Structure 1
Amino acid sequence: MPKAVWLLVIGMVINVTGASFLWPLNTIYIHGQLEKSLSVAGFVLMLNAGASVIGNLLGGFLFDRLGGYLSILLGAIVNVASMTAMVFWHGWPQYVIFLTLVGLGSGIIFPAVYALAGAVWADGGRRAFNAVYVAQNAGVAIGSALGGLVASFSFNYIFIANLAMFAVFFLIAAVGYRHMSEVKGAQMNVISENGMVKNRSKLLALSILCGAYMLCWIGYVQWQSTIASYTQEINISLKQYSLLWTINGAFIVFGQPLVNYFVRSFKDNMKKQIIIGILIFIVSYGVTAFAQDFKGFVAAMLILTIGEMLVWPAVPTIANQLSPSGREGFYQGIVNSTATAGRMFGPVIGGVLVDLYGMPALFGALIVLLVAALFLAVGHDYPLKKQKNSSETSISSH
């Protein structure tokens, strides 16, 4: 990998490690420490994710206008300021306010990092996005492993640890990314470059794929919300729950050679990769529905992780392939905002379903959503095929 990508990878590990001290424990903190219902906890996470959606779109826009360096720096400043406040004020409702602001800051950072990785390693293809994805999950493994341990002493230490890592990331971004300040969208006229119809077809194809992506995230986020609380009810300890995320992150990092070997057979067929990943998601929730002890949840998490390793890096790769020159940040912003929308609505949908009908209804609903995601993934490239056929018909008629 180029040196610039390594710097982005290191920064992402630090940033996500900080965030991972807190985000797996949000529902547990709101439900257990602040004594709010699962539905209220879901609403709080929805506010956090809603702010991230705004941040994602803003981050993509800023990348195309100002470049990756200033975009990432702005998001890092918002995060450091918010976590500094949270260290001192983390009761109700201050916790909600600062958690929402952290969502905004993090939202700005992620599409800018992905777009920057694609720009500085244009020949890397999926490897650039996979490197950032692996870095995120290395951070998840480290942060969640330490988070459960730290929280067992005091939740106050969680906020301090999170702030410390965000501050380190800010320093890395301020110093290490400065030489990338000129990297931004080319700001070319998209309509005159490729034709309005072609670009509309690309945007529609990405939107359909992102619909599937959002549905997958609605299911995935249950592990951080409803399933997190459910594990506490069946006497799985906080340390064991945090260990599940450590297993998730570690498997993603160390399982890359296996996945790369498996993916090689697709010959860069991202669509096939996503379809297989969604099918694996469906199996994982079937296993989770019947899990009653820690071993069962470990098995379910391992299966879930395999699906995640196939789906999560593939979507931003397709977005990069579809994006016209000068719109890379905007397209990555769409991808990140739809994922965040899944994280926004997921806890609310899950919390209401569990409060009203119980966990079995939740797992049934998740499988239905994933089947819908499968159909969307299969048909997402229909607008591109239709546009291509129209172009060929037009050429042949002349």
Structure 2
Amino acid sequence: MPRALWWLLVGMALNVTGASFLWPLNTIYLHEQLDQPLAVAGAVLMLNSGGSVIGSLVGGVLFDRIGGFRVLLAGAVLTMAALAGLNVWHGWPHYAVFLALVGIGSGVVFPAASAYAGAIWPEGGRWAFNALYVAQNIGVAVGSALGGFVASYSFSFVFLANLLLYAAFLAIVTVGLRRIPLLPPARTKRPAEAEKVPSRAVGWALALLCAGYGLCWLSYVQWSTTIAAYTRELEIPVGQYSLLWTINGALIVLAQPVLSRVIHRFMPGMKRQTVIGFAIFVVSFAMLFGADSLVEFAASMVVLTIAEMIVWPAIPAVVNELAPQGKAGLYQGIVNGTATAGRMIGPVIGGWIADAFGMKLLIGLLVAFALLAVAASLLYDRWLPRPTEKAGEKTAATI
């Protein structure tokens, strides 16, 4: 990998580590420290997610206009300013305001980082996005593990640690990426076939991919909301439920070398990778039917983790190939915003269905959503012209 990509990966790992200090503790802080009802805490978290959706679209557009380095700086500075305010004023309602600003700032950073990874290492294809995915999950694992420990001393230390890690991210970006000679998006060379693709066909392809991606994120987030509550109804202790996420994080980091070889051998085309990944999501949710023990939930989590390891890096990689000249940032912003929207509305929809109709119906809908994602990944390239293959080369649309 290019050295510049390593700088970006380290920076994003620090960025996500800082964010992961805070996000698992938001509800606890709002409810127990600020005495806000759970409904209000949920509304604040939706405000944060809504800010992230807006930031994703803004960050994507700005990437296409002013380049990745400036966008990463802008997102980092905005987030740091909000975190600095949070360190000084973390009472009510200041907390909600600053958390919304943090959502906007972090939303700006993520699509810019994805588009930047593709621009730094275009010949790397999916592997650039896979490396970014692993780096972010290392940050999630480290931040989530340390956040509770730090909060046990003082929530003020959580805010301070978040700020300092974002400052480290800003320093990494400034030092490592400032002199990277990337061409402006409008002057980037693209294959001749890409210039002949009708914009309507690309739009349909993007819409279908994002629909499947959003449905799977809506389903995935149930694991930390409705499914978590369901395990408590089955009298599975909280400590054992937390072990499921430990399995998730460990697999993402440790199983990458093995899975990378499997993908390289059996999933040579990006379309095949997305179809198989979404199909594995179907299996993971279907395994929840009748699950009533830790072992059964752990087995479903293992399958779910394999699915996300295949799909989550693949969708940005496919979209990066689909993006018209000078639109890579916008397309990554739409993808990132879709994922955030799924995480935002997922708990609301899942909670309502589980309360009104029961968990069995919700699980059935999760399976149906994953099947729709499979259909979307099968059809997304139907209106795209088939590129000419040379000497047996497989294109991104090959399955």
- Partner SS, residue 21 of structure 1: helix
Query: Does 2:102 align with 1:102?
Result: yes
Q: Is the 8 A contact 2:55 2:107 kept in 1?
A: yes
What residue identity is the alignment partner of 2:2? Answer: P
Residue equivalent to 1:254: 254
SS of corresponding position for 2:185: coil
Question: Structure 1 residues 330, 211: CA separation in 2 closer, same or farther (over 3 Å shift)?
Answer: same
Q: Does 1:143 align with 2:143?
A: yes
The residue that corresponds to 1:201 in the other structure is 201
Give 1:362's aligned amino acid: L
SS where residue 268 of structure 1 aligns? coil
Answer yes or no: is 1:371 the counterpart of 2:356. Answer: no
Q: Distance in 1 between matches of 2:365 and 2:92?
A: 31
The letter for the 2-side match of 1:2 is: P
Match of 2:347 in 1: 347
- The alpha-carbon deviation at position 198 of structure 1 amounts to 1.7
2:80 corresponds in structure 1 to: 80
Deviations 1:21-54 (A, max 9, x none): 2223444555665566665544333222221111
Asked if the contact 1:110–1:336 (Cα under 8 Å) also holds between the matched residues in 2, the reply is yes
| 1:241–1:146 distance in 2 versus 1, CA, 3 Å | farther
C-alpha distance in structure 2 between counterparts of 1:289 and 1:244, whole Å: 17
* Distance in 2 of aligned mates of 1:253 and 1:300: 18
Deviation for aligned residue 1:210: 0.8
Superposed, which structure 2 residues align to 1:169-248 within 5 Å?
169-180=169-180, 182-186=182-186, 198-230=198-230, 234=235, 236-237=237-238, 243-248=243-248
Structure-2 change in CA distance of 1:225 and 1:87 (3 Å): farther
1:121 aligned residue: 121
1:156–1:69 distance in 2 versus 1, CA, 3 Å: same
Aligned length: 386
CA contact (8 A) 2:119 2:182 kept: no
Corresponding residue of 2:23: 23
Moved more, 67-76 or 26-35: 26-35
Aligned to 1:11: 11
Partner amino acid, structure 1, of 2:145: A
Aligned partners of 2:138, 2:150: CA distance in 1, in Å?
Answer: 18
Q: CA deviation at 1:297?
A: 3.9
Distance in 2, Cα, partners of 1:56 & 1:375? 26
Hey, what does 1:394 align to over in structure 2? none
SS for the counterpart of 1:325 is coil
1:287 CA drift (Å) = 3.7
State the TM-score, normalizing by the size of structure 1.
0.86
Q: CA deviation at 1:75?
A: 0.8
Q: Is the 8 A contact 1:65 1:187 kept in 2?
A: no
Separation in structure 2 between the aligned mates of residue 10 and residue 125 of structure 1, nearest angstrom: 19
The Cα shift of 1:381 comes to 1.3
Per-residue Cα deviation, 1:92-135 (whole angstroms, up to 9, x for no partner): 43332222211111111111111111111111111111111111
The unaligned stretches of length 5 or more in structure 2 are 389-399
**2:391 aligned residue:** none
- Cα 1:311–1:206 shift into 2, 3 Å: same
Which one-letter code corresponds to 1:383 in the other structure?
Answer: W
1:271–1:34 Cα change, 3 Å: farther
2: CA distance, partners of 1:182 / 1:214:
31
Partner SS, residue 64 of structure 2: helix
Q: CA deviation at 1:183?
A: 4.9
**Aligned-pair distance for 1:386?**
9.3
Structure 1 residue 369: Cα displacement: 1.9
Residue aligning to 2:396: none
CA distance in 1, matches of 2:289, 2:91: 34
**For residue 327 of structure 2, what is the aligned residue in structure 1?**
327
Partner residue, 1:304: 304
Contact conserved, 2:27 with 2:42, CA < 8 A, in 1? yes
- How far is 1:303 from its partner? 1.7
In structure 1, what is the equivalent of residue 277 of structure 2?
Answer: 277
Q: Secondary structure at the match of 1:353?
A: helix
Higher deviation after alignment, 12-21 or 26-35? 26-35
> 1:250–1:387: structure 2 CA closer, same or farther, 3 Å change rule?
closer
Question: Are 2:267 and 2:273, in contact at CA under 8 Å, matched by a contact in 1?
Answer: no
Who is 1:395 aligned against?
none
1:337 matched residue in structure 2:
337
Distance 1:88 1:28 in 2: 19
Superposition TM-score, scaled by structure 2 size: 0.86
Pair 1:277–1:197, CA change in 2 (3 A): closer
Query: In structure 2, how many angstroms separate the alpha carbons of the residues matched to 1:317 and 1:175?
Result: 26
- What secondary structure sits across from 1:383 in the alignment? coil
Amino acid at match of 2:137: N
> Which amino acid in 2 is paired with 1:223?
W
Q: Secondary structure at the match of 2:274?
A: helix
Give unpaired runs (5+ residues) of structure 1.
389-398
CA gap 1:183/1:152 in 2 versus in 1, 3 angstroms: farther
- Point out the structure with the larger helix share: 1
Residues 306/188 of structure 1: CA separation in 2 closer, same or farther (3 Å cut) = closer
Partners of 1:225 and 1:231 lie apart in 2 by 10
What RMSD, in angstroms, separates the aligned Cα atoms of the two structures?
Answer: 3.0
C-alpha distance in structure 1 between counterparts of 2:85 and 2:99, whole Å: 10
Whether contact under 8 Å (1:57, 1:337) holds in the other structure is yes
Indicate if the aligned counterparts of 2:197 and 2:384 stay in contact, CA closer than 8 A: no
Letter of the 1:133 counterpart:
Y
More displaced 10-residue stretch of structure 1: 300-309 or 358-367 = 358-367
Amino acid at match of 1:282: V
